[in-house]
Amino acid sequence: MQNQHQLVRQTAAVLMAFGSIASLLPGFALSLAASAAEPGSASAAAERPNIVWIFVEDTNPWMGCYGDKTVPTPNIDSIAARGVRFDRAYMPAGVCSPTRSAIALGAMQTSLGVHNHTSSRKRVPEDVIYLPEGVKTVYELMREAGYYVTSTQGKNDFNFVFRMSDLYDDVVRKNWGFSRDQWAQRPEGKPFFAQIQLAGDKNTGQYAGAPPGTKGPFTDLSKMQVAPYYPDHPVIRRAYAHHHDTIRQTDDEVGEILDALRADGLLENTAVFFFSDHGMRVPRHKQFLYEGGIRVPLIVAGPGLPSGQVRDDLVSGMDITVTTLALAGVKRRAWMEGRDLFAPDYEPQEYVVAARDRCDFTIDRIRAVITKQFKYIRNFMTDRPLMQPQYRDGHDYFEVGRELYKAGKLNAVRSFIWSPTRVPEEFYDLEHDPHETNNLANDPAHAAELARHRKLLEDWIKATDDKGQYPESIDGLRGVLTLWDKQAVNPEYDKARAAK
């Protein structure tokens, strides 16, 4: 058994090595990956580990195992204790559907044209997006490899046309949370791949032990350490406290999942992935490419994996996909840009990329390149402010910053995102400035590093043919208008309105 898994990993490692140069030589690397032999088959599926994705909404890594002791997180911490905690895990986007599309496909959403949030919703017949011929999701590939694949209903939020029956053997009719049916109903002898979707920051915060019948936040507001880019205001403190409450609630839910796997005798042969799609709902976090928006918890534990290990190499959400396939003995497909994080010859990558494009009705284009020490952010649409009109307008955790800015009560750091103008480039030393408050783009002492990062992004855009550099189709924008109509104020909608 051990030799078989070693062979699978060695084969996956060869594919990973080609994947690391795919962004520079895509045709060569992808053709080699496509022609590689399949490591494993459906007939061998019963010998492979079960795999569980605990896929959490809108959650930052404010957990005990990450050094945050504000609320207890014993269940999440227990996964880290028996597995691997990744300290530099970044999602491909700061909002759900582009991230989930990238993870489903193991490729950047911008490479396959599924980058605009809430696309392909069939609001008008012409706005649908079809994947290129032969491109399949991780769910379909796992089914083909002999896995019983399930999901909770949660959020199957992809920016391309799909059928649930193609992706999953079964969808548990529970909006969030899990059910034992995700593995109990599988055919005898089949391993399972269960996607368990938890509400995260969208939870109520009613964790076990919270006073019954009371409304939070329950975490002590006076203990909240608000980031320097926010005003230290009761509204922001409540948002922080609520987030801690929901993390505690999420930990309870994780405990239920682990207890069920243990009770069913499955935990020892199940690889568990715990991760979030992006950061919490407040400004600068959700939808944006700052650390609070795209740096997420990622913990993996399972048979044959290291125990109690902490890694600080740069990891992308796409790597979750390829690592999952490698554990299952499924080859990395030609379109995939992710890597097997546990391959024997794995080497840390130089950088990862994240992207912001249209979010709901808000049209934007931002790219970020993250290296070991620095982050480079390129704002392409300098004709509009960072905080354009968007769907969270009106919520107190948004309006308090806007009102204080208008009243002239914010300092330069806190005013940055509320300014009516935006700078074209941002450059941060993450090692010395983890909150990204000191923009070094105009600092001569960092000119060489800035130029290096600028070139990394330019080369990446060309090599991957970043689809965000092209305007969204009129039909796609017409689809947006059917839902958002008058809230869609960007000038790009003028032609779409004329075409209605």
Residue 355 confidence (pLDDT): 98
Residue 175 confidence (pLDDT): 77
Give yes or no for residue 281 having a pLDDT over 90: yes
**In the structure encoding, which two tokens stand for residue 265, read together?**
């005798």
**Nearest residue to 99 (alpha-carbon basis) of 314, 320, 247:** 320
Claim to verify: residue 295 and residue 388 sit in the same structural domain:
no
Residue 208 confidence (pLDDT): 92
Claim to verify: residue 345 and residue 475 sit in the same structural domain:
no
Q: Among 320, 349, 378, where does a domain finish?
A: 349
Residue 474 confidence (pLDDT): 96
The 3-state DSSP class for residue 50 equals: strand
Claim to verify: residue 317 and residue 445 sit in the same structural domain:
no
Q: Among 308, 333, 349, where does a domain finish?
A: 349
Determine the structural domain holding residue 465 and report its residue range: 356-499
Claim to verify: residue 341 and residue 386 sit in the same structural domain:
no
**% of the chain surpassing 90 pLDDT:** 85
CB 130 within 8 A of CB 174: no
Give yes or no for residue 96 having a pLDDT over 80: yes
CA-CA distance, 77 to 402, in Å (whole number)? Answer: 37
CA-CA distance, 29 to 15, in Å (whole number)? Answer: 9
CB 76 within 8 A of CB 65: yes
Give yes or no for residue 42 having a pLDDT over 70: no
CB 346 within 8 A of CB 452: no
In tens, the pLDDT along 324-345 reads 999 999 999 999 999 999 999 9
Claim to verify: residue 88 and residue 232 sit in the same structural domain:
yes
Which pLDDT band holds residue 45 (cuts at 50, 70, 90)?
Answer: very low
Q: Among 324, 349, 374, where does a domain finish?
A: 349
Which pLDDT band holds residue 174 (cuts at 50, 70, 90)?
Answer: confident
In tens, the pLDDT along 439-449 reads 999 999 999 99
Question: What secondary structure does DSSP assign to 292-353, as a single string?
Answer: HHHEEEEEEE-TTS-SSEEE-S-EEHHHHHHHHHHHTT-PPPTT-----TT-TT----S-EE
Claim to verify: residue 92 and residue 205 sit in the same structural domain:
yes
Give yes or no for residue 12 having a pLDDT over 70: no
Dihedrals phi, psi of 282, to nearest 5 degrees: -70, 165
Rounded average pLDDT over 396-415: 97
Rg (CA), the chain: 22
CA-CA distance, 23 to 464, in Å (whole number)? Answer: 6
CATH of the domain at 105: 3.40.720.10
Claim to verify: residue 343 and residue 367 sit in the same structural domain:
no
Claim to verify: residue 257 and residue 154 sit in the same structural domain:
yes
Give yes or no for residue 38 having a pLDDT over 50: no
Give yes or no for residue 17 having a pLDDT over 80: no
Residue 31 confidence (pLDDT): 33
Residue 47 confidence (pLDDT): 78
Claim to verify: residue 164 and residue 312 sit in the same structural domain:
yes
Which one is predicted more confidently, 434 or 125? 434
Give yes or no for residue 44 having a pLDDT over 80: no
Split into its structural domains, the chain has a count of: 2
Claim to verify: residue 207 and residue 286 sit in the same structural domain:
yes
CA-CA distance, 119 to 134, in Å (whole number)? Answer: 20
**Nearest residue to 267 (alpha-carbon basis) of 52, 45, 9:** 52
Rounded average pLDDT over 16-20: 36
* Cα torsion angle, 393, 397, 403, 407, sign: negative
**% of the chain surpassing 70 pLDDT:** 91
Which pLDDT band holds residue 427 (cuts at 50, 70, 90)?
Answer: very high
**How high is the mean pLDDT of the chain?**
91
CA-CA distance, 422 to 309, in Å (whole number)? Answer: 40
CB 196 within 8 A of CB 54: yes
Claim to verify: residue 289 and residue 428 sit in the same structural domain:
no
Give yes or no for residue 5 having a pLDDT over 50: no
Residue 446 confidence (pLDDT): 98
Claim to verify: residue 202 and residue 180 sit in the same structural domain:
yes
